[in-house]
Amino acid sequence: MQIRTVGVVGAGTMGNGIAQVLATHGLEVWLADVSETALTRGLEAIRNSLERLIRKGALPEDARHATLGRIHPTTVLAALAPCQLVVEAATENADIKQGIFKALDDVLPAEAILATNTSSISLTRIAAWSRRPERVIGMHFMNPVPVMQLVEVIRALQTDDATHAAVTGLAEALGKTPVTVRDGAGFVSNRVLMPMINEAAFVLYENLATAEDIDTVMKLGMNHPIGPLALADLIGLDTCLSIMDILYTEFRDSKYRACPLLVQMVQAGRLGRKSGQGFYRY
């Protein structure tokens, strides 16, 4: 299936990046969010990102106008009716996602694919919410989407081969490298990454070193391009906490318990870059 028309649900950190990459590659994009403010902020983030890429020479000057012209913002999910594929990138909360999947089932044609950018919720569980479980799949983009090469493709137990082929084909057409993994909480990326971020938060909580020093150890000692605490701020501390909670619930193993400092930061509204303060100030 040649995919030309895509919906993105959620215009936050990930949704606006996904919409931008789809539109710069010539696809028509319907970008939906419940919040007008989130849509305005999402479009502003896309404009800024395009400016940066044009300044760096990574995109031609005329890409700005053409890309923005292909993105259609909406607060009405029914506007996604013409889409052949929807990438759900709303808040990492199972109840919210279930509501969106139920609504999309009613709005989209039967053959449309439902992809989700979830970081950790079981794809098999999500597919079971839908009346088209064989056309549900994980399309896990990395942050920042316009820059990062990987798309982790997660097959639910129910996903069929045609859906898998369409989604890996689309990821390649976007210039990304898809890696397919089987379903399991956190998949591969966050099963490995989040416990490391959580442990860095514990090290800070136990006062063993400053945030800067923890990040410097991992950057200079392990050759990581960004330290775990700065990365947590980039991802969003609420998202990190949700992922740890899902790993903990799914595996019932205390090694996945969230660091109390991470919990407190979220309670205090210190969510990282998106709120202006996390482990660092922005």
Binding site for ligand NAD (CB under 6 A): 9-15, 32-35, 38, 89-92, 96, 99-100, 117-119, 140, 143, 235-236, 239, 274
Q: Is 275 annotated as a binding residue?
A: no
d(CA 117, CA 6): 14
Q: Per the annotation, does 11 bind a ligand?
A: yes
- Residue 138 or 161: the one with the smaller Cβ distance to ligand NAD is 138
Known binding residue 33? Answer is: yes
Which residue, chain included where needed, has tokens 């639910």? 156
Residue 2: CB minimum distance to ligand NAD, A: 26
Give Cα 186 distance to the centre of its chain. 12
Q: Let me know how long the chain is.
A: 282
Active site residue 254: no
Least separation in angstroms between residue 159's CB and ligand NAD is: 18
Identify the active-site residue in 122, 189, 190, 242: 190
Cis peptide before 144 (omega within 30 of 0): yes
Active-site hit among 16, 117, 119, 189: 119
Q: Which tokens belong to 210?
A: 């400053």
Pairing of strands 150-155, 136-141: antiparallel
| Shortest separation between residue 77's beta carbon and ligand NAD, angstroms | 7
DSSP-derived letter for residue 56 is: T
**Quick one: tokens of 124?**
């098999």
Catalytic residue among 140, 189, 198, 242: 140
> Is 59 or 246 the residue whose CB approaches ligand NAD more closely?
246
Q: At 86, which amino acid appears?
A: V
207 is an active site residue: no
- What are the strands of the beta sheet with 136-141, ordered from one edge? 71-74, 28-32, 5-9, 85-88, 113-116, 136-141, 150-155, 177-182
Residue ranges with strand state E in the chain: 5-9, 28-32, 71-74, 85-88, 113-116, 136-141, 150-155, 177-182
**119 labelled catalytic:** yes
Catalytic: which of 88, 152, 198, 242?
A: 152
Is residue 152 part of the annotated active site? The answer reads yes
CB neighbourhood size of 75 (10 A): 13
Residue 10 assigned as binding residue: yes
Q: CB-wise, 188 or 209, nearer to ligand NAD?
A: 188
For ligand NAD, the closer of residues 26 and 175 by Cβ is 175
Residue 8 or 218 having the CB closest to ligand NAD: 8
Minimum CB separation from ligand NAD for residue 191, in Å?
Answer: 13
Residue 12 annotated as binding site: yes
Q: How many helices (H) and strands (E) does the chain have?
A: 12, 8
Q: Is 143 annotated as ligand-binding?
A: yes
We find the least distance from the C-beta atom of residue 143 to ligand NAD, in angstroms, to be: 3
Going by the annotation, the residues of the binding site are: 10-15, 33, 49, 56, 92, 97, 119, 143, 274
Enumerate the active-site residues: 119, 140, 152, 190
